[in-house]
Structures are given as structure tokens and as C-alpha cells.
Amino acid sequence: MANLRPLLAIVVVLTVGRTRLGVSQWYVGLEIAATRYGGSAHDTTNGHVAADGRPGDATAWSVRFGRNWQRYGIALRATYANPGLTLAGQGVSVSDKTAGKLIEAATMVSTRVGGIGPSGAVRAEVGPSLHLWDFGGEIRSRVGAIGAAVYEWPFAGRFTAALRLEGMLSRSWFDAADVPPEFERRATWRYGVSFGLRYRL
């Protein structure tokens, strides 16, 4: 019997490995998000009616490719949006959508933290992001960090739906020469809500 124990252990390991491999899934998906930005630049003297300069609120479109295992996952996401530039303060908000387009690339890892109902999954995601903001014809490149809470559920056939609450933080998207001396550059932050459909490959 003792001689069979190593053989039984090998069988168990192979069986568990195959089971975990069987539940892994590759997928491709599309997402649409409503986003809002803050930070970036602030007038410290209160000498301007519009004391804050930041990217504007925008609708973002994303393509996502990833793989989920039973608990963990990894994904690559490419995003396009047209946030432009917004000056705001004292009840005044002026946006120029011609001033700044955005291309963003992000890598995210996730872990399942719970479930809702018999088949819904709640995941937490974190990862780095690269932002290329076209500001007046000049590209501002910034590295940021993204965190999100995601609820996924079966939609139809091989499709899965996902609702995400996401936050992003990076250093100011403005360079020193972009703002007047009385403006202080601050961290740029963003939050957003998105809905996506993913197709299991």
C-alpha cells in the first residue's frame, strides 16, 4: 500500500491540473464607459473664474482580450476617447473637445472575490496603464494605475456581460509649460462606469 501512495499522489495532481486547465477561458470583448476626470491643474491664487484645468468628461470605447481561470485572470485593453480640455470653477465649466484625444493601453490582473447568484462573479482588478493624450497636437504620455470592481454574468450562449466601476490615477497630464505660473499641477484622476460584452473563444 505504501508503494501506491506516490502513484496516487501523481494521479491526483494530474487530475487537478487538467480540471483547472479545463475551466480556463480565452475571450475577446468590447466595452463602453462613461468617464469623469479630476485634478491635473489648479489655480492656487483664485485669480481665475475657472480655477481648474483637466481632461473633460468623455465616452470611452475599449477592446479587451484576456484569459480567466477559475479564480485569477489577466487582460489587455486598448481604449479610445475624446476627453478634450475642460476649464471649471465657481459654477462655470467650458469644454473644448478639439484639444485632446486619448489612446490608452492597460494590462490588468484580476482575482475573484465573490459571487452574486448561482453564476455571477465579482472580481477585483488592478494594473498599470499608459495614456497618450493628444493635447493641441502634442502627445503627453503618462503612466498610471488602474483599479476596478467587476461584476460578470452569463449573457447569452458564449457571451458574458460585465459591469465595471473603475478608478485611475497618474501624475498631471499637463507639462510645466502648459499652464500659467499661478497654476499648480496635480495628479490626474478618473473614475468611470462601463458595460461590456465578452465572447468566449
Find, among 78, 101, 90, 99, the residue nearest to 31 by Cα.
78
For the CA atoms of 39, 44, 48, 53, what is the dihedral angle to 10 degrees? Answer: -20
pTM of this prediction?
0.80
To the nearest whole percent, how much of the chain has pLDDT over 70? 87
Amino acid at position 39, single letter: G
Q: Is residue 63 part of a domain?
A: yes
Residue 18 within a domain: no
Domain of residue 114, CATH code = 2.40.160.20
Residue 20 lies in a domain: no
Asked whether residue 29 is domain-assigned, the answer is yes
Structural domain total, the chain: 1
Q: Average per-residue pLDDT in the chain?
A: 86
Q: pLDDT tens digits, residue range 107-129?
A: 999 999 998 877 889 999 999 99
At residue 36 the predicted structure's pLDDT band, cuts being 50, 70 and 90, is: very high
Query: Is 14 inside a domain boundary?
Result: no
DSSP 6-22: HHHHHHHHHHHHHHHHH
**Domain housing 52:** 25-200
For the stretch 59-77, pLDDT in tens is 999 999 999 988 999 999 9
The answer to the question of residue 19 being in a domain is no
